[in-house]
Structure 1
């Protein structure tokens, strides 16, 4: 579930103070900025001679943002369930601002596109179930995945919907497949405390099950999951910490859009999300040095 849904659940009885929409805007701003910071650090270390695999990408527009910033990797992959992929491909085909950058960056033969996959020389979108890594790898390789190229994998609110064993299998596959790689994960944390339990109970009443929530006990449990599944080093910080690292002029401007009078609630929410990242670096590119 996205952060907006969480905030809606927690704030459903709140009738005063900052609106749900403003809390969501602040949280989403920190999420985008935090993930982008790590991603761009990887792109700089590799001089964009790399590939990105966006896991559970949904309607994400990262490929288009990177193109606008002249930061495209050699190949950009997106993976999601076939139903989601079909919807996104339809949007790309029907909206010129989305299809134009793909065509502009394509070279070689005609674009390969059907209802559940799209493959160009710089951008691919693949329909696959992340719970089955062998099927995932096969489909990615059909779209010219190069396992010897430095690779950054991004998962935002994805692993928490998989069982701990399923997410461990995915992490282990990634660590064993790419000699030079980084994994960026954004999801819940500190879910064993009272605030976290209320969040879980609210979701359960709505028949929404977070199958992997037990791994979200703490920042240490998040790091441990990465390390035990083959990654050489790992880091994890909560989103309140990320928020404190953001450009203060931007933070002040955003906070002034609406008076932030529920700071305690905002801090609690931000302390229940985190960014974790891990790397392995056989080429000594300095990936272990990437941090906030």
Structure 2
């Protein structure tokens, strides 16, 4: 087989595998919501049935959901007085963010733009069209825009474009009505790490260049070199969904430098232990920790060490931080022992 054709087939297979991580993720989020970790009445409509995940997985998706939700809601508070603001979700998959914000009445003068592979966008659009609850959350359907727009309404635009193709993404977003000068939150929730690092770096630079009043929110993996990190990488490798970025950017400091050298003015990066202990009130932590029997405390803290939430900002409006700066020295990390701690990485 010619090398070019073989490479194309490998890329297609990898893209399909990455799309599969969306299905696994939405099932896990639906499980956590069903167990009461967070309130989301819409995830159930994106899965065939709500499966019950293990308590550790439910907790992992809770802190992930909570971190992203914190940043999004803080952005909407900061921009409340603006005539127009936008959320641009890269690799959105079957995320229910738009529907939650719409139901809560938090999208005044705001539009949510979602971009993902055409196959994923087409599937999501079909689910929305076939579901009375989801379809009812679209206040008005606009005439079809030129380009790959699968859903078009006054507050929600769903586009099917490969986010690696920056020129195509730019054209599609412009056609869908995105205002490049308006305050914009760019969201990447375990998405860019599946791309080759030079491509994800280019996406980060692209967003900084085109969006002068913006904040980039990213949730991804770190710490690849310890035993947990190596097993985590092997887990995703078996799924044909290699984690690329954490090799070059292995910790929160490296991720922060990454954004500052790619055109962003300010950057804060916290691992999930910092986020969980510092930004979630004790009463809420007590509530979450009482939902299910749980004895995997070491594995829970280890898992939180291997994920981070990051915000990078540009422009005067975005000087109001969505996250606090990390402490000078974080609390000591609980050591990992393969003889004591069974590892089940959480996607």
**Cα distance in 1, alignment partners of residues 192 and 249 from structure 2:** 10
Structure 1 residues 156 and 248: CA distance shift in structure 2, 3 A:
same
Structure 1 residues 153 and 114: CA distance shift in structure 2, 3 A:
closer
2:322 match: 290
So what's the TM-score if we normalise by structure 2?
0.74
Question: Which of 173, 193, 204 matches 2:226?
Answer: 193
Tell me which of the two structures has the higher relative contact order, counting C-alpha pairs closer than 8 angstroms and 6 or more residues apart: 1
**Cα distance in 2, alignment partners of residues 162 and 213 from structure 1:** 11
In structure 1, stretches of 5+ residues that fail to align are: 9-18
**Cα distance in 1, alignment partners of residues 161 and 73 from structure 2:** 26
Deviations 1:220-258 (A, max 9, x none): 111111111100011110111111121322221221222
Deviations 1:254-275 (A, max 9, x none): 2122232221111001110100
Please say if 1:71 is aligned against 2:130: no
**Cα distance in 2, alignment partners of residues 159 and 87 from structure 1:** 21
**Cα distance in 2, alignment partners of residues 124 and 145 from structure 1:** 9
Superposed displacement of residue 114, structure 1: 9.8
**Cα distance in 1, alignment partners of residues 270 and 195 from structure 2:** 21
1:53 match: 88
Structure 1 residues 180 and 113: CA distance shift in structure 2, 3 A:
closer
Deviations 1:112-153 (A, max 9, x none): 699862222211000011111111110111100110111100
Question: Which of 120, 123, 147 matches 1:87?
Answer: 123
How many residues are aligned here? 274
2:150 match: 117
So what's the TM-score if we normalise by structure 1?
0.87
1:275 match: 309
Alpha carbons 1:231, 1:279 under 8 Å: kept: yes
1:14 match: none
Structure 1 residues 153 and 207: CA distance shift in structure 2, 3 A:
closer
Structure 1 residues 146 and 267: CA distance shift in structure 2, 3 A:
same
Task: Give me the CA root mean square deviation.
Answer: 2.3
Question: Which of 181, 191, 197 matches 1:148?
Answer: 181
Structure 1 residues 206 and 154: CA distance shift in structure 2, 3 A:
closer
**Cα distance in 2, alignment partners of residues 266 and 216 from structure 1:** 23
**Cα distance in 1, alignment partners of residues 105 and 198 from structure 2:** 38
1:100 match: 136
Alpha carbons 1:86, 1:115 under 8 Å: kept: no
